[in-house]
Amino acid sequence: MKKTTSVVQMQPKRSDISIASHIREVLRALGEDPEREGLNVTPARSEKALRYLTSGYTADVDKIVNDALFDVKYDEVVIVRDIEFFSLCEHHLLPFFGKMHVAYLPDSKVIGLSKIPRIVDAFARRLQIQERLTQEVAETIQRLVNPRGVGVICEARHFCMMMRGVEKQHSGAITSAMLGAFRNNKETRNELLSLVGQRSTTI
């Protein structure tokens, strides 16, 4: 049987190479003078920003969750809605942003509610595509909590569509990842979609 590797396990190593020096050369290639006032500190600022926006590469999800897993007899859907996130599209290094709704159907354990947004951030702060980001969050909740099902819905707007290419400023994308009961049981899946749709706010 062919072995498959979960997307949540694929994580490149961080480099100590100076990003600022390369940003300086990019500015020159664009026809700018990186030494002029207004740009002379930009390479260092840009490096600091990029390292923060991709800090998810060094995030340890197990340490983020720590001991916030609890034995609880609860068999109804748990949903954390409207989790705001910001990420960078790996195709153009432009931002995409939006909201994620994360739900799971407990078996014998629940996870501290504040840990779910932290898990979202751990994967959003990497070079991403929306589809993979959605799947990674779902697979991580499944691995950590081992619930009967996980459902993740992600709504986002992409600057690579808004600022370039088709330049459609009001277009958005919706992706979902359904595992276990949310994939196999239509009634459970419809309940999730109904709950997420209630009092829905625009991005």
Question: Quick check: is 92 catalytic?
Answer: yes
Q: What is the DSSP letter of 90?
A: T
Of 11, 84, 91, 169, catalytic: 91
The verdict on whether 89 is a catalytic residue reads yes
Token pair 């986002």: residue: 156
In the residue annotation, 130 being an active-site residue is answered as yes
The answer to whether 150 and 141 have CB atoms below 8 angstroms apart is yes
Beta strands in the chain (DSSP E): 69-71, 78-89, 95-105, 109-111, 127-128, 149-158, 173-180
Q: For the sheet containing 78-89, what is the strand order? A: 127-128, 78-89, 95-105, 149-158, 173-180
For this structure, is 35 an active site residue? no
37 is catalytic: no
Selected catalytic residue, list 37, 92, 128, 187 = 92
Q: Which of 101, 128, 130, 191 is catalytic?
A: 130
Which of 139, 142, 155, 158 is flagged as catalytic? 158
Element (DSSP H or E) covering residue 138? helix 130-145
Q: Which of 84, 89, 135, 139 is catalytic?
A: 89
Q: Please state, in angstroms and rounded to a whole number, the distance separating the CA atoms of residues 58 and 74.
A: 33
Residue type, 202: T
Report the distance separating Cα 44 and Cα 63, nearest Å.
30
11, 25, 90, 169: the active-site residue = 90
Please identify every residue annotated as catalytic: 89-92, 130, 158, 160
